[in-house]
C-alpha cells in the first residue's frame, strides 16, 4: 500500500474497513461517513472457503453422534448445513442449537423452522452461554469452526469440561489485495489477527508511517504489536463498545 512520507497527518479524511461491504445502507459506518464528511471503503482482507465433504470425511467425525451444535458465527452455520447436505445427512429435529448471539440464532431461520427447534443464545461470547450450557451439560456438542478457531471459545469449553468435538468445516484464506498497492487511507480498521497477516502477506514491506491503525479486540491489538504497528484506535473499551464509536471519538479530536 502507498506510503506517505511527510509528517504524520492527524486529520482523518479516509477510512478502510477490512470487512465485507454491508448489504444495506443501514450501517453505522455510512452514518459516520455522512456525519464527518469521510470517505469510507470496505474491503475484506480475508475470506472463507468451505472444506469439501471428501476432506471432512478424513476426520472421521460422525454427525449422527452429536445431540447439540455450537455456532460462533453465521459462517459456521452456513458450512454446517452445507456439509450436512453434501454428506446427505438429514439434520434431526431434536438437535439443539447453541449460538453466541441472537443475530446468529435468528440467522438459522435460513435453514430450519425456528419456532419448532430448541435454540439458545447468549450476548456475544461462549461465557454468556454458561448458565444455559450447565443445564445441558450432558449433551454431546459439535463445534463447527474454521482452521483458525477462536481460542476463547475453545478454552471456555475445555475448561468447563463439556464433551465437544471441533469440526473444521471452513478455512480462512488471504484475499488478493494487489489493487490497493498504490492506495493510501488515513485509517485502516482491523477486526482479526488474520487480517493483519493478510496485510503483510500482500504487502511484506508495508510501513505504517501516517496511517492510523484501528484494532478491534485484544487478539487483534496483539497481532498489531507483533508486527510493530502502532494501534491509535482500540475497541472495545469501557463505555466504547463498538469500532464506529471508537473511530468517531478519535475523529472528534483529530479533525477539530
Backbone angles phi, psi at 169, to 5 degrees: -105, -15
Q: Is the pLDDT of residue 39 over 70?
A: yes
Residue 148's pLDDT band, with cuts at 50, 70 and 90, is confident
CB 214 within 8 A of CB 231: yes
The domain boundary residue, chosen from 172, 188, 223: 172
Residues 62 and 166 in one domain: yes
The whole-angstrom separation of Cα 218 and Cα 207 is 22
Q: Which three cell numbers stand for residue 202?
A: 500482500
More confident of the two residues 5 and 215: 215
CATH of the domain at 77: 3.40.50.10090
| Grid cell for residue 66 | 452429536
Which of 50-59, 118-127, 241-250 is predicted least confidently? 118-127
Write down which residue in 172, 192, 226 finishes a domain: 172
122 and 99 in contact (C-beta within 8 Å)?
yes
Q: What is the extent of the structural domain holding 157?
A: 49-172
Q: pLDDT (tens digit, 9 = 90+) per residue, 207-254?
A: 999 999 999 999 899 999 999 999 999 999 999 999 999 999 999 999
Residues 96 and 12 in one domain: no
Residue 116 has a pLDDT of 82
CA distance 221 to 36: 26
Domain count of the fold of the chain: 2
Amino acid at each position: 500500500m502507498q506510503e506517505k512520507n511527510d509528517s504524520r497527518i492527524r486529520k482523518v479524511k479516509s477510512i478502510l474497513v477490512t470487512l465485507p461491504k454491508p448489504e444495506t445502507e443501514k450501517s453505522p459506518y455510512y452514518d459516520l461517513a455522512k456525519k464527518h464528511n469521510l470517505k469510507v471503503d470496505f474491503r475484506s482482507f480475508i475470506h472463507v472457503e468451505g472444506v469439501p465433504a471428501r476432506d471432512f470425511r478424513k476426520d472421521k467425525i460422525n454427525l449422527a453422534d452429536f445431540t447439540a451444535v455450537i455456532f460462533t458465527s453465521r459462517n459456521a452455520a452456513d458450512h454446517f448445513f452445507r456439509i450436512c447436505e453434501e454428506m446427505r445427512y438429514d439434520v434431526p429435529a431434536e438437535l439443539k442449537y447453541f449460538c453466541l448471539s441472537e443475530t446468529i440464532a435468528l440467522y438459522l431461520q435460513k435453514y430450519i423452522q425456528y419456532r419448532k427447534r430448541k435454540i439458545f443464545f447468549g450476548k456475544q461470547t461462549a461465557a454468556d452461554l454458561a448458565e444455559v450450557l450447565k443445564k445441558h451439560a450432558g449433551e454431546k456438542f459439535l463445534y463447527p469452526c474454521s482452521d483458525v478457531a477462536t481460542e476463547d471459545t475453545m478454552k471456555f469449553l475445555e475448561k468447563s469440561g463439556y464433551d465437544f468435538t471441533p469440526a473444521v468445516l471452513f478455512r480462512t484464506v488471504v484475499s488478493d489485495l494487489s489493487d490497493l498497492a498504490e492506495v493510501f487511507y488515513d485509517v485502516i480498521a482491523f477486526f482479526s489477527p488474520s487480517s493483519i497477516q493478510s496485510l503483510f502477506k500482500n504487502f511484506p514491506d508495508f510501513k505504517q508511517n501516517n496511517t492510523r491503525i484501528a484494532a478491534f479486540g485484544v487478539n487483534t491489538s496483539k497481532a498489531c504489536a507483533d508486527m510493530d504497528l502502532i494501534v491509535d484506535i482500540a475497541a472495545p473499551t469501557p463505555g466504547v463498545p463498538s469500532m464506529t464509536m471508537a473511530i468517531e471519538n478519535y475523529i472528534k479530536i483529530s479533525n477539530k
